[in-house]
Amino acid sequence: MPWLCEAGESLRAQTLTDWEWLVVDDGTGSGLSSLGELGRDPRIRLLSHATNCGVSAARNLAVSAARGEFLAMLDYDDVARPQRLERQVTRLRAEPALGLVGSAVDTIDEHGATVGREFALLDGVEQTRFSQYTMPVALSACTGRREVFERYAFRRDFDTAEDYDFFTRVGETWMTGAVAEPLAGYRVYASQTTQQRQDRQVFAASCVRLLTARRRAGRAEGWAELKEELGAWMAAPPKAEVAWLDFAQRCVRENFPRLAVYHARRHLMLARRPGAVVAALQVLRGALGQAKGAARREVLRVFLMGPLRAHRLGRRAGGLV
């Protein structure tokens, strides 16, 4: 609630004025009264869940109620720069094959001051390639065609990393892209979900990576079976370093060598112990045994340098911010 009015005021400052703002109250019962004068703007519509249903259900509720040709996501603690909607809608109208467009994003603090720049890949081809590892652009800065959001509903199994799961599926059938100008401010503070739920975030994103690898290899996703196999971890995820290693080993077993060493590398970054080094090197050995020729060198580069440098991403037109 502390930043909801600021998010709303950033919409009222948009240069494109033909919009509606769908505010989803996910079980608080607060209504629009907490928005004060802002809450009386006729372009605002309140959607409510009687109880907390989670971020995926909240996003889907908004999508189902939206009346616009395009849909833009904005988390309650972020802000949109004045030309965000105009710039992104113009790009979508100019490129019919483009389903989703993000932007560069400023990092802002609790007071709204810009303190840096969030990671973002701007080139669509590179976004799709990098999405095998993690999110290439912030969803809170993305605008897309309504049919994209309708077709790829947010999965309620993911109460974190739902944005990453959504983006990977969209990128497999639609072109994506980004505007180089920073069109949003992403707020970073100690109590935000991504800071407080790191273990759950790592676990959910690891599940998304494995499902994505299976789909892109032409295999069945097998999500129901994976959930059953993961058992109690679905409700209470393990420590992040445990999840990184478990999924590294899973990826070796499923013959995804690049993904295996990516997970092993991240495990090693957290668990700086002799045993962690041994485990990571075992994963590397197995992954190298599965790769041949140039792919073998690429696997080694991902392990030693990370995916950005290994795949030389961020060097195309538009680049990396």
Do the domain assignments include residue 32?
A: yes
Same domain, 164 and 87: yes
Q: What's the whole-number mean pLDDT along residues 299-307?
A: 97
φ, ψ of residue 80 to 5 degrees: the values are -105, 135
Q: How many angstroms separate the CA atoms of 102 and 120, rounded?
A: 9
The DSSP bridge pattern shows strands 98-108 and 143-145 to be antiparallel
Q: What's the whole-number mean pLDDT along residues 99-128?
A: 96
Contacting residues for 197 by C-beta, under 8 A, at least 6 apart: 160
Buried b (16+ CB within 10 A) or exposed e, 248-264: bbbbbebebbbbbbbbb
Two tokens, residue 316: 């195309």
At 320 the pLDDT is 64
Task: Check whether 34 has a pLDDT greater than 80.
Answer: no
Same domain, 235 and 187: no
Q: What's the whole-number mean pLDDT along residues 1-26?
A: 92
pLDDT tens readout for residues 218-253: 999 999 999 999 999 999 999 999 999 999 999 999
Residue 44 domain boundaries: 4-194
At 37 the pLDDT is 84
Of 194, 211, 232, the residue at which a domain comes to its end is 194
Two tokens, residue 279: 């485990």
- Judge whether 130 and 198 are in contact, CB under 8 Å: no
Same domain, 230 and 124: no
Number of domains present in the structure of the chain: 2
Same domain, 172 and 249: no
At 288 the pLDDT is 97
pLDDT tens readout for residues 55-92: 999 999 999 999 999 999 999 999 999 999 999 999 99
Same domain, 59 and 43: yes
At 133 the pLDDT is 98
Beta carbons within 10 angstroms of residue 90's beta carbon: 14
Q: How many angstroms separate the CA atoms of 36 and 33, rounded?
A: 6
